[in-house]
Structure 1
Amino acid sequence: MADTKYDVIVLGSGPGGYVAAIRCAQLGLKTAIVERELLGGICLNWGCIPTKALLRSAEILHYARHAKDYGLKIAGEIEADLEAVVKRSRGVAKQLNQGVTHLMKKNKIAVHMGEGTLTGPTSLTVKGEKGEEKLTAKHVIVATGARARDLPFAPADGERVWTYRHAMTPKEMPKKLLVIGSGAIGIEFASFYNDMGVDVTVVEMLDRVVPVEDEDVSAFLEKSLTKQGMTIMTGAGVEDLKVTDKGVKAKIQDSKGKVNETEFSHCITAIGIVPNTENVGLDKLVEMDRGFIQIDDYGRTKSKGLWAIGDCTPGPWLAHKASHEGVTTAEAIAKELGNKEVHPHPLDRANIPGCTYCHPQIASVGLTEAKAKEAGHDVKAGTFPFIGNGKAIALGEAEGFVKTVFDAKTSELLGAHMIGAEVTEMIQGFVVGKTLETTEAELMQTVFPHPTISESMHESVLASYGRALHI
């Protein structure tokens, strides 16, 4: 009979759970992971990674259609083969799922496939292919993640009303698509389908798209998406959605309060997430707020030996935040079990970057200019446009800017906000800077390589202090 007693059991194998399991194993703890579906969780199989594969196909299509801008001729009509695009995306997901399987073996982590339910803070049952197994551990980490929130009056059916999951493996190409919600997921799918030639409308309840971003970024993105042919409706709401044989009929109230009924072939709902915390046996073991498990800075719940990380805990609900929490919690557990070599550090939420892979890309870390002022900072902010950057012009990607926000008194870097080509790869420079508690002086003294788009990061710092060179 397989082992059923462990030092640590991790419930859920997404980027929080599997990373926590690996760190526990590295620290010499006997570790098991319980997964009901696919190793790697939503992120690797149905989220972050395969969506980036889809968006890459759309990006290549976009460049091919604009080949003449680069002095190139492509003979014949360029068209998207939806089936092949989706197949490539699924292949990428499969490769990464196999990668996680390999990492579990390499780190000698026991994998129990099945539905896990807690029977106490440190015990659970797993119902799977092997029937029912009873497992116990000194510590349990809950990493059950979250799922897409449904519209109360029009739950996703996979036919006409989609969540991100249906949108990734569409049975047919939409003709006219309604996207409800303009956070990262909504905007990424709007961008993908727009590039694929679909007529896309985005409806956002708040007064601007990507509402968590800096206002300048929101304004620039709305202008760019409108120029690309999308219909953007902010300060608007979908009041009713009826599924018909041919698609969906949506009653949309615009920002002036006028309600119109419009027909679409398909609809994607991207209105937030719901934590997967029901039916796991958590009810009396943890405190919850709107379903999210309440934890301390190291992932402890109110029950001794029971921990939680990732999307089933308070936000931001990002894969890299979950992974970081996984490491912190694994080290905190090892310390409790007597390891004197580990020194866990709680997560600093001010230093978690956010990335949106629409076209143009968005990346940010820290406070927006408005939030910095709200928090009482005397602010110095500067913006540098890509049109002043040689590499961006040479790439034919002169749309975009970098904005930095500093505290005028202490010169602390409070936030950085970017929109444009490859900014998701550049933001990490500012994240490192913030983690090292940098001021404008170090950033100004840093030599940035030429020609790179990253020089615009340097220029935005200079611009914050009235010293930009190329504008």
Structure 2
Amino acid sequence: MTRTSVSSDAFDVVVIGAGPGGYVAAIRAAQYGLRTAIVERGELGGVCLNWGCIPTKALLHGADTAHAIADAGRYGFDVPAEVGFDMQQLVKFSRSVVSRLVSGVSALLTGNGVEVIRGSAVLSGKGELTVTADGQPIRELQADHIIVATGARPRVLPGITPDGDRIWTSTDALSPKKLPESLVIIGSGAIGIEFASLYGALGTEVTVLEALDRVLPAEDAAVSAAVVRQLRSRGIRCEAGVTVGTVTADGTGVSTTFTVAGGASETIRSEHLLVAAGVVPNTEGLGLAELGVGFERGFIAIDEWCRTGVAGLYAIGDVAGGPCLAHKASHEALICVDHIAGAPGVRQLDRWFVPRCTYSRPQIASIGRTEQQARALGRPIEVGVFDLAANGKALAQGEGIGFVKTIFDAESGELLGAHMVGPEVTELIEGFSIAHGLEATAESLAEIIFPHPSVSEAMHESVLAALGRAIHSMPTTAPTPSQTRTAQLV
């Protein structure tokens, strides 16, 4: 067999991985005039674009359409009792969206002068890496700066091995051969709840099992309770405090045995089982340990500028720890490259204030600390809650279930957290992100004019409630300074 010749190249920056962290880092580096290459063994755009954020949102749009059809009678439309549905057509639509965006990423990289190298990268020394394809080395690269952006993959639970047939990962759940009649989901974070909402809306019987004491355990307790109520009202079973026992798959389905805290053992039969229990970083086979790179809970350890302990080596995105979100990866990419280039005024990442969004029905969006986490700071806080049942726009579009909750430091007025449940709150949460970034206080936010009618008015009302100045809801306590105040609809 003829061995492929190996070429050697020197770059200023080489990025490993072309996901939302990697390709953004490469583009920003090229914008600084740095000779840049990006190495990718799979598809440009990474998991987020190909098998995560984007295709799930395309499928969830289909679920929203199903909801609109089912609810059309409220608005005077006569819809047949049985409406045809083709799961493969919905999947085809989602893949077309992905294809278009992948082409866009490719064009952006080419247009910015970034060299795209197809293959797998292994760090062979400081500032050096080897690119292989089909197990054979094809390029030897040198770079002053190497950025690892290899992302993460679905976590596999002991004794539950995904087979792509009956036991799914999130990737499998994006392209089913047909709509399943029943589905058990292990894990109730954003991924689990999005798929529960998706399949439940399309007619699948869904059961969600969560090991921790409540569904959506990372969210504010009020958010968790509100969302669970809505999911259950639509026939989605949600169980928390669950211990999963045996999982057995066969040709017709999956049998899952589990117990809920204080309850008896139960076995549930489903057509498929989806494991949505988080992710693990893609760090294997890169040669990181051989270079002396440090790790924290399996993720690459970095400092505030995304530097590892090895000079000239950086890590961004999921591989460098949570929150494992595409926009966090992209922002870290900018911080990392801006710092490399010596740009002035680079700000460190505040991980508390990376927006967290779940595109379920209802949508969930939050930044900052939950009320429990804010109270743990030991500082006096003010809390405002406004119910969407008193919001004109939400009611006018038949979406009056949800709320906005804001948490402020009672002495300084600093925004400590914001939590939202309701229609398109994933588009609204950025208002609170901007407010925090500009160091707005509760008092300054109270002076902002919000358009009427809009769901965003609930954001203003929540701030007013925290200050004891609620207009469209009644305070539950007298408006005295320096205490927690909540307002609820009367």
The answer to whether structure 1 residue 381 and structure 2 residue 383 are counterparts is: yes
Number of corresponding residues: 466
The letter of the residue matching 2:147 is I
Query: Counterparts of 1:88 and 1:331 in 2: how far apart (Å)?
Result: 37
1:263 Cα deviation (Å)?
1.1
Query: Counterparts of 1:382 and 1:272 in 2: how far apart (Å)?
Result: 31
Query: Counterparts of 1:79 and 1:204 in 2: how far apart (Å)?
Result: 33
What is the aligned counterpart of 2:269 among 263, 274, 277? Answer: 263
The answer to whether structure 1 residue 314 and structure 2 residue 321 are counterparts is: yes
Q: Give the aligned partner of residue 181 of structure 2.
A: 175
Q: Which moved more, 1:139-148 or 1:254-263?
A: 254-263
| CA distances 1:41-60 after superposition (whole Å, capped 9, x unpaired) | 00011100110000001101
Q: Give the aligned partner of residue 459 of structure 2.
A: 457
Name the SS of the counterpart of 2:65 in structure 1: helix
1:3 Cα deviation (Å)?
6.6
Query: Counterparts of 2:297 and 2:132 in 1: how far apart (Å)?
Result: 27
The answer to whether structure 1 residue 250 and structure 2 residue 259 are counterparts is: no
| CA distances 1:9-35 after superposition (whole Å, capped 9, x unpaired) | 000000000001111011111000000
The answer to whether structure 1 residue 212 and structure 2 residue 214 are counterparts is: no
The letter of the residue matching 1:97 is V
The letter of the residue matching 1:261 is T
The letter of the residue matching 2:440 is T
Query: Counterparts of 2:384 and 2:14 in 1: how far apart (Å)?
Result: 48
| CA distances 1:77-127 after superposition (whole Å, capped 9, x unpaired) | 223210000000011111110000000111000000111111113111111
| Unaligned ranges ≥5, structure 1 | 336-340
The answer to whether structure 1 residue 44 and structure 2 residue 46 are counterparts is: no
What's the TM-score, normalizing by structure 1? 0.97
| CA distances 1:116-168 after superposition (whole Å, capped 9, x unpaired) | 11111311111127952111111100000000001210111000000000000
What is the aligned counterpart of 1:23 among 15, 25, 28? Answer: 28
Name the SS of the counterpart of 2:288 in structure 1: coil
The letter of the residue matching 1:134 is E
The answer to whether structure 1 residue 126 and structure 2 residue 128 are counterparts is: no
Query: Counterparts of 1:377 and 1:434 in 2: how far apart (Å)?
Result: 18
The letter of the residue matching 1:223 is R
Identical-pair percentage: 49
Mapping of residues 136-147 of structure 1, within 5 Å: 136-147=142-153
Query: Counterparts of 2:349 and 2:254 in 1: how far apart (Å)?
Result: 43
The answer to whether structure 1 residue 184 and structure 2 residue 190 are counterparts is: yes
Mapping of residues 195-206 of structure 1, within 5 Å: 195-206=201-212
Name the SS of the counterpart of 1:404 in structure 2: strand
Q: Give the aligned partner of residue 290 of structure 1.
A: 297
1:175 Cα deviation (Å)?
1.3
Query: Counterparts of 2:397 and 2:468 in 1: how far apart (Å)?
Result: 27
Query: Counterparts of 1:233 and 1:348 in 2: how far apart (Å)?
Result: 33
Query: Counterparts of 1:146 and 1:65 in 2: how far apart (Å)?
Result: 37
The letter of the residue matching 1:287 is G
What is the aligned counterpart of 1:108 among 110, 113, 120? Answer: 113
Name the SS of the counterpart of 1:419 in structure 2: strand
| CA distances 1:247-303 after superposition (whole Å, capped 9, x unpaired) | 111111112242112211100001111100011111132101232000000010111
| CA distances 1:172-194 after superposition (whole Å, capped 9, x unpaired) | 22111100000000000011000
What is the aligned counterpart of 1:367 among 352, 366, 369? Answer: 369
The letter of the residue matching 1:306 is L
Q: Confirm or deny: 8 A CA contact 1:36 1:114 kept in the other structure.
A: yes
Q: Give the aligned partner of residue 93 of structure 1.
A: 98
Query: Counterparts of 1:436 and 1:299 in 2: how far apart (Å)?
Result: 24
Name the SS of the counterpart of 2:286 in structure 1: coil
Q: Confirm or deny: 8 A CA contact 2:404 2:418 kept in the other structure.
A: yes
Query: Counterparts of 1:257 and 1:310 in 2: how far apart (Å)?
Result: 40
The letter of the residue matching 1:55 is L
Query: Counterparts of 2:437 and 2:218 in 1: how far apart (Å)?
Result: 21
What is the aligned counterpart of 1:303 among 301, 306, 310? Answer: 310
1:413 Cα deviation (Å)?
1.0
Q: Confirm or deny: 8 A CA contact 2:8 2:139 kept in the other structure.
A: no
What is the aligned counterpart of 1:225 among 220, 231, 234? Answer: 231
Q: Confirm or deny: 8 A CA contact 1:10 1:140 kept in the other structure.
A: yes
1:342 Cα deviation (Å)?
3.8
The letter of the residue matching 1:298 is W
1:2 Cα deviation (Å)?
6.7
1:70 Cα deviation (Å)?
1.5
| CA distances 1:397-454 after superposition (whole Å, capped 9, x unpaired) | 0010000001111111111000011000000000000111111111100000111000
| CA distances 1:361-387 after superposition (whole Å, capped 9, x unpaired) | 000000111100011121110110111
Mapping of residues 340-351 of structure 1, within 5 Å: 341-351=343-353
What's the TM-score, normalizing by structure 2? 0.93
Q: Confirm or deny: 8 A CA contact 1:118 1:280 kept in the other structure.
A: yes
Query: Counterparts of 2:345 and 2:411 in 1: how far apart (Å)?
Result: 33
Name the SS of the counterpart of 2:119 in structure 1: strand
Q: Confirm or deny: 8 A CA contact 1:65 1:78 kept in the other structure.
A: no
Query: Counterparts of 1:306 and 1:191 in 2: how far apart (Å)?
Result: 40
RMSD: 1.3
Query: Counterparts of 1:467 and 1:255 in 2: how far apart (Å)?
Result: 42
| Unaligned ranges ≥5, structure 2 | 1-5, 474-490
Q: Confirm or deny: 8 A CA contact 2:19 2:149 kept in the other structure.
A: yes
Query: Counterparts of 2:84 and 2:304 in 1: how far apart (Å)?
Result: 50
Query: Counterparts of 1:443 and 1:2 in 2: how far apart (Å)?
Result: 58
Query: Counterparts of 1:274 and 1:401 in 2: how far apart (Å)?
Result: 33
Query: Counterparts of 2:347 and 2:315 in 1: how far apart (Å)?
Result: 16
Q: Which moved more, 1:79-88 or 1:356-365?
A: 79-88
Query: Counterparts of 2:79 and 2:268 in 1: how far apart (Å)?
Result: 37
Q: Which moved more, 1:412-421 or 1:113-122?
A: 113-122
Q: Give the aligned partner of residue 3 of structure 2.
A: none
Q: Give the aligned partner of residue 16 of structure 2.
A: 11
Q: Give the aligned partner of residue 275 of structure 1.
A: 281
1:333 Cα deviation (Å)?
1.3
What is the aligned counterpart of 1:407 among 403, 406, 409? Answer: 409
